[in-house]
Structure 1
Amino acid sequence: MARFKKRRKVTKILMIILIPLLVVFVGAAAYASYLASTAKTVVESSQHKLDSRKFDEKSEMRLEKVDPRVDNISILFLGIDDGEHTFSDSTRTDAMILATFNEKSKSVKMVSIPRDSRVELVGRGRMDKITHAHAYGGLDMAVNTVEKLFAIPVDYYVRLNFDAFIKIIDALGGIEIDVPFDIVEQNSHREKNKIKINKGLQKLNGEQALAYARTRKYDGDVERGQRQQEILKAIIKKGLSIRSMTKYGDVIESIGDNLTTNMTFDEMLAFHDYAYAGKNIDVEMLTLKGKPARINRLYYYLLDDTSLDEVKTKMKQHLEFDGTDANDSGKTEISTDDNGE
């Protein structure tokens, strides 16, 4: 059981760092003619429309369908725990990241939603952990719950069962990180003291970056989250500055059958503009503050109302969404569904 829990923690870190890279990488790689066919096949074989959007293919919060080539859009990235029995709608999400993309400024804002956040699950009518939304109602409940929580439309979703962290870092030739302390950690095979990293500016390979992301020996959970955000930014900027399209090919091939999305290949292609921004792309990671609590002997993460409102405002402004805040959640006071993890 201890090993399973440890594996889930590592998987969560992988998802938080990896998932937001997918759309930009695919969009950039597709502009190389010899990769376009592979990228198109991967995306087209991964198509899945939400049941609630089978006819108009847009969020109910939108007056009309958006076009990522000209509009600001939002994407919900979902990481499915690969320790679960299947890659399906009955599994819990191990990571949920909401991102807004501003076409004019070529900037991205992202917020990672703690999996134990206590929110109202749309369609279930009660408070529970947000990780359970996907398990109870699949992609529809997960997307609708996030829309209600942040009061902005979720235009697209990308779901991955994905553990190719090391391969992606290595394919990019490593990333540069200013390491704040000496690190001695286990490797991905749980072999103790196999990873040693010195303090200072270092070029980390995949194994080293994973150890840097997951270590809990040297600081707290807040700092660990900041390290993960630092790695995410480093991967994005390194990836978007790469001129060799073969590196994008390695990333795309590692996606394989692990992708489900409602984005078309042409829509993903629109993100080549962000690739052209290269190292100048502005990526801001937002943080949802809160506190741990036990309710009926179960662990929850209670989101701070002020922090939630600040994040909602920033994302709404970045999306330039002027819809009414009719779906305000986070402060709901309805019945609790106490169903364990």
Structure 2
Amino acid sequence: MRSEQKQTKKKRKWLRITGIVLLLLVVGAGAYGFTVYKSLTDAVSTMHQPIKREKSEKRIEEVTFAQQEPFSVLMLGVDERDGDKGRSDTMIVLTVNPNENSVKMLSIPRDTRTEIIGKGFDDKINHAYAFGGPEMSMDTVENFLDIPIDYYMQINMEGFEDIVDAVGGITINNDMDLKVEGAHFPKGEITLNGAKALTYSRIRYEDPRGDFGRQLRQRQIIQGVISEGASLSSLTRFGGIFEALGDNIKTNLTFNEMVDIQKHYKNAGKNIQQLTVTGNGQTIGKVWYLIVSDEEKLRLQNELKGHLAI
């Protein structure tokens, strides 16, 4: 009897800490057992990539997850090419507040003109990754939003379709009829496999909203993956999910930190609020940029600071 109780306790423990939480850090999925645990730890070991970065002046003391302190993550969607570091065509800032049980998700347009910290000149914000990897991206976004960026999560966009397929596909609500590359995405509820999700996430010129429409679709796909991953009741897919995550995600979060996040922040993932950067297009030196006004930056900074309780 005691052995059965111990096994049940172990199952409940892993029910709390496994699943697609590795993608957005706040959502758990049901799984247990040694095989799942081994797959999970192997994936995290593969994903973990520490960074060399000076301590941020905007974060005096490190976040303590056990005390349920709000924190932030910069998600970088990178198209990795042979012989080229690539650029972060997708930049999403997540702020997580367990006291408000909410996550704010801000997409930063890749053409946003701002100072590239470490280079000393203004350029498109997504160029920070090409110049200095996740460290320079974190520093530049931190300066742009005037908030601490505590962690990063880099996703290989080419491999993102593997993640979508690993959860069995996703269902999203498409707000615009779109056709691209021989694919048709009708308005309304649609179900996407990995390849179609990748195509859908990259649509830009066929949408009159341009990059803003593309950002919306990327957020839809991320939320779709979270929803599908969190709803899985079978163990059969978790090996594939962990393998896909391990192959395509890099982060400076450790396994223990992920466990703490799931333990203390899991309810926050049930309320994801999407924010948008607005600005005006302007050509400078024959290059098109999105110019974000000081008033707009202040609006975003105040909202995120409030959510981070700073």
The TM-score normalised by the length of structure 2 is 0.79
SS at the partner of 2:39?
A: helix
* Aligned residue number for residue 80 of structure 2: 82
Number of residue pairs matched by the alignment: 288
Compute the RMSD of aligned alpha carbons. Answer: 3.1
3-state DSSP of counterpart to 2:149: coil
4+ aligned runs moved over 6 Å, structure 1: none
Distance of aligned partners of 1:275 and 1:180 in 2 relative to their CA distance in 1, 3 Å threshold? same
Q: 1:96 aligns with which of 73, 87, 91?
A: 91
Instruction: For 1:105-184, list aligned pairs within 5 A.
Output: 105-180=100-175, 183-184=178-179
Equivalent residue, structure 2, for 1:302: 291
Residue range with higher mean Cα deviation, 70-79 or 201-210: 201-210
> 2:299 is paired with a residue of what secondary structure?
helix
Distance in 2 between residues matched to 1:274 and 1:233, nearest whole Å: 20
Is structure 2 residue 190 aligned with structure 1 residue 202? yes
Q: What CA distance in whole angstroms lies between the structure 2 residues aligned with 1:208 and 1:134? A: 26
Q: What is the CA–CA distance in structure 2 between the aligned matches of 1:259 and 1:38, rounded to whole Å?
A: 15
CA contact (8 A) 1:32 1:245 kept: no
Counterparts of residues 1-341 of structure 1 (less than 5 Å): 22-24=23-25, 28=29, 33-53=34-54, 59-69=56-66, 70-83=68-81, 85-87=83-85, 91-180=86-175, 183-186=178-181, 193=182, 195-215=183-203, 216-217=205-206, 219-221=208-210, 222-273=212-263, 277=267, 281-321=270-310
Q: Share of identical aligned residues, percent? A: 36
Bigger shift: residues 269-278 or 219-228: 269-278
Contact kept, 8 Å, 2:28 with 2:230, in 1: the verdict is no
| 2:167/2:228 contact within 8 Å kept | yes
> Contact (CA 8 Å) 2:92, 2:105: kept in 1 or not?
yes
Asked whether the 8 Å contact 2:58–2:148 carries over to 1, the reply is yes
- Partner-residue secondary structure (3-state), 2:56: coil
Q: What secondary structure does 1:164 align onto? A: helix
Supply the distance in 1 between the matched residues of 2:51 and 2:287 (Cα, whole angstroms): 31
Say if 1:127 and 1:28 are closer, same or farther in 2 by CA, change over 3 A: same
Shift of 1:275: 8.5
Question: Would you say the 8 A contact 1:115–1:130 is kept in 2?
Answer: yes
CA contact (8 A) 1:27 1:269 kept: no
Structure 1 alignment gaps of length 5 or more: 1-18, 187-192, 322-341
Aligned to 2:6: none
| Deviation string, structure 1 residues 291-321 (Cα, Å, up to 9, x no partner) | 2211111222212333222221111111112
User: 62-71 or 218-227, which moves further after superposition?
Assistant: 218-227
Structure 1: distance between partners of 2:284 and 2:239 = 47
Deviations 1:3-50 (A, max 9, x none): xxxxxxxxxxxxxxxx99624389657865422222223323444333
Residue 264 of structure 1, CA deviation = 0.8
Kept in 2: contact 1:92–1:131 (CA 8 A): yes
**TM-superposed deviation, 1:153:** 0.7
Decide whether aligned partners of structure 1 residues 31 and 114 sit closer, same or farther in structure 2, where only a CA change above 3 A counts.
farther
More helix by share: 2
Give 1:51 shift: 2.4
CA offset digits 1:79-114 (Å, max 9, x no partner): 222235245xxx432222111111223321111222
Contact 2:76-2:152 at 8 Å conserved across structures: yes
Whole-angstrom distance in 2 between the partners of 1:274 and 1:314: 23
For structure 2, the residue ranges without an aligned partner over 5 or more in a row are 1-19
Give the whole-Å Cα distance in 2 for the aligned partners of 1:138 and 1:197.
34
